[in-house]
Structure 1
């Protein structure tokens, strides 16, 4: 299960994150997201934990804890993905409606 970690320090903290999460179970990977153009850290990351129960335990225990002076905000990665999907669907609907309005306007001319 992937755990989304927000409000990360821009310092190198992947080791601290791994250590904090390993108290609650096995950590498969720690990924700190960086800007693709300048390589700077974007303030969030993903912790991959194979066991869902351990991951949920880590979320409950570490939510709001501090690493490098920053309060962590954690969530189940699936919850974040479902919000993104619903936003993408809404955007698709808006584009479709705009296209329909353009087509009906062009027919009137």
Structure 2
């Protein structure tokens, strides 16, 4: 699935580039005005660019779940005797499992 997503993303990027190039060519030739609306090549460039954006959305839907999904499940890649507790303990303020700060109380204000 991942290779299909990468391939679709590359084709989508090519669509973005080709669509932008067609629209830029028409804008330079005709000038940036409402006359562009009458140019079929400008519309074709817009359609190709929109198709590229759509292909990127499809490619993202084929991507494997990211690290955030793993964090929400509780298995953030930290394994061992503590299970997933090591990640939660490391995330405590100051890195202390008890939630105590590393700084002496005189420094805390």
- For normalisation by structure 2, the TM-score amounts to 0.31
Which of 1 and 2 has higher RCO (CA within 8 Å, sep 6+)? 1
- For normalisation by structure 1, the TM-score amounts to 0.31
Structure with bigger strand share is: 1
Structure with bigger helix share is: 2
